[in-house]
């Protein structure tokens, strides 16, 4: 389904090439139309270099190694089972969707947020005019939290003039409305 993103700076081969994408943006621009790109930052594929490096660093640290530029905290690992964590090889890792192909990024990590910003800037430079952020509800744990609002605000700072819409659903309108404390332009809620 494409939500287990493996490469944030390229186009999936079955959808075309980067040149195809650039041509599409140029043609749309001629016709006063824009692209809003689906952006998946809650989780990344276990096949990404981000996850592979983080897992290797965490594994080495569990063996007593000290790694100066470790990425082990780009994801949330544990040596014991926890709620919303799944078993992956020798350890447990947070996965809101309970699948070994989609691991939750640690969006409380400033380096992860900086990389998200690099990705947003990359696609903005290609002509993207907005982003639809997947699974905002799971940015930190589950449901709207102050940390979630802060992450939304940090993401908006990278491209303040682009349109940001978040996928955030909750049965209770009070909690859904809390997302509007962020600087995102809009949210949508499937149940509502």
Decide if 165 contacts 186 (C-beta within 8 A).
yes
Catalytic residue among 4, 57, 167, 170: 167
Could you give the CA distance from residue 57 to residue 91 in angstroms, rounded to a whole number? 12
Catalytic residue among 4, 57, 134, 170: 134
Separation in Å, CA 176 to CA 87, 172, 191: 31, 6, 11
The label of the residue with tokens 């959808």 reads 15
57 is catalytic: no
Helices 146-158 & 110-125, crossing angle to 10 degrees?
40
134 is catalytic: yes
- Residues identified as active-site: 134, 167
């Amino acid at each position: 389904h494409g939500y287990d993103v493996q490469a944030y700076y390229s186009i999936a081969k079955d959808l075309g090439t980067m040149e195809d994408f650039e041509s599409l943006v140029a043609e749309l621009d001629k016709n006063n139309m824009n692209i809003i790109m689906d952006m998946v930052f809650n989780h990344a594929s276990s096949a990404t270099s981000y996850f592979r490096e983080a897992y290797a660093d965490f594994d080495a640290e569990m063996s007593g190694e000290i790694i100066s530029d470790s990425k082990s905290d780009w994801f949330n690992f544990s040596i014991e089972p926890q709620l919303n964590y799944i078993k992956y090889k020798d350890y447990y890792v947070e996965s809101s969707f309970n699948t070994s192909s989609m691991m939750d990024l640690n969006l409380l990590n400033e380096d992860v947020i900086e990389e998200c910003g690099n990705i947003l800037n990359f696609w903005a430079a290609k002509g993207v005019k907005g982003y639809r952020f997947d699974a905002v509800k799971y940015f930190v744990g589950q449901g709207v939290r102050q940390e979630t609002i802060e992450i939304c605000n940090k993401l908006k700072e990278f491209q303040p003039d682009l349109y940001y819409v978040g996928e955030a659903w909750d049965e209770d309108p009070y909690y859904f409305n809390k997302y509007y404390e962020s600087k995102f332009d809009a949210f949508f809620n499937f149940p509502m």
